[in-house]
Amino acid sequence: MTSPAASDFLSATSFDSAGLVPVIAQDRKTGAVRMLAWANREALRLTLETGQGHFWSRSRQALWRKGETSGNGLTVREVRLDCDGDAVLYLVDAEGPSCHTGATSCFYRLADGDTVASDDGPPDPPAVVVSRVADVIAKRRKERPEKSYVVSLLDKGWPKILGKIAEESGELAESLPTPDTAHTAHEAADLLFHVLVGLEAAGVPIDDVFAQLRKRFGVSGIDEKASRTK
């Protein structure tokens, strides 16, 4: 039985004459477009109700779930409808590559001057690099590889971690007034890295930091500081 929420979403969707609607699958963490496929009413209903990306194959004339043969599934965290109701967006956590060629994204070809070049798909936005570094730090802590700088910092505890944060902060402060922008960027990266190690040690997810930053959009910095309880 279709849930009321799914029924409302399906009613708002404008399917074409073949009973289909285009669906874009976008990586929830990186923002990269993973793939474009089609869904009929049943595929969309199954996606809404199971949280797994379902589609309709126009070539096979059959319903299919992404990953049912490859294992590279799409866990759908949000389903969105565009302003005209004739295109759907799946915000997904992807397991492995999404293209049948083995590329991360189906959009792995790009115009390069007079030719068509290939890569693995659209690059990560710059801010996503921060999350990726945080993930690597968490992985180092869990797997504890030999000769890991992250593991050595975590093992030495807060005195070492806080000392490095203070050291890198001082080096950045010294570099900021200088004209050497490349060196300043280097020092800022060093500081950010050690802050991420500190956050891992403290058990504070980087997503919590991003959530705090999101709250501050459109809010005066003075008002935001005044509203803090501590």
Predicted pLDDT at 224: 67
Predicted pLDDT at 148: 97
Predicted pLDDT at 95: 94
Are residues 91 and 136 both part of a single domain? no
Are residues 147 and 187 both part of a single domain? yes
Predicted pLDDT at 222: 77
d(CA 136, CA 24): 28
- Does 102 map to a domain? no
- Does 228 map to a domain? no
Q: Which residue has the tokens 């999404």?
A: 98
Predicted pLDDT at 21: 98
Predicted pLDDT at 3: 84
CATH label of the domain that carries residue 144: 1.10.287.1080
> Which tokens hold the place of 20?
């289909």
d(CA 210, CA 174): 27
d(CA 107, CA 118): 9
CATH label of the domain that carries residue 22: 3.10.20.810
Are residues 136 and 58 both part of a single domain? no
- Does 182 map to a domain? yes
DSSP track, 104-151? SSS--EEEETTEEEE-SSSPPPHHHHHHHHHHHHHHHHHH--TT-HHH
Are residues 28 and 72 both part of a single domain? yes
- Structural domain of 177: 126-217
**Count of Cβ atoms closer than 10 Å to residue 66 Cβ:** 25
- Does 142 map to a domain? yes
Burial (Cβ within 10 Å: 0-12, 13-18, ≥19) of residue 175: middle
- Does 225 map to a domain? no
Are residues 8 and 84 both part of a single domain? yes
Last residue of a domain, one of 44, 75, 96: 96
This prediction has a pTM of: 0.69
Predicted pLDDT at 223: 73
- Does 49 map to a domain? yes
Are residues 87 and 136 both part of a single domain? no
CB-based contact 137:194 (threshold 8 Å): no
Q: How many domains does the chain have?
A: 2
pLDDT along the chain (230 residues), means of 10: 86 98 94 96 97 97 96 97 98 96 96 94 86 95 96 98 98 98 98 98 95 88 72
Predicted pLDDT at 109: 96
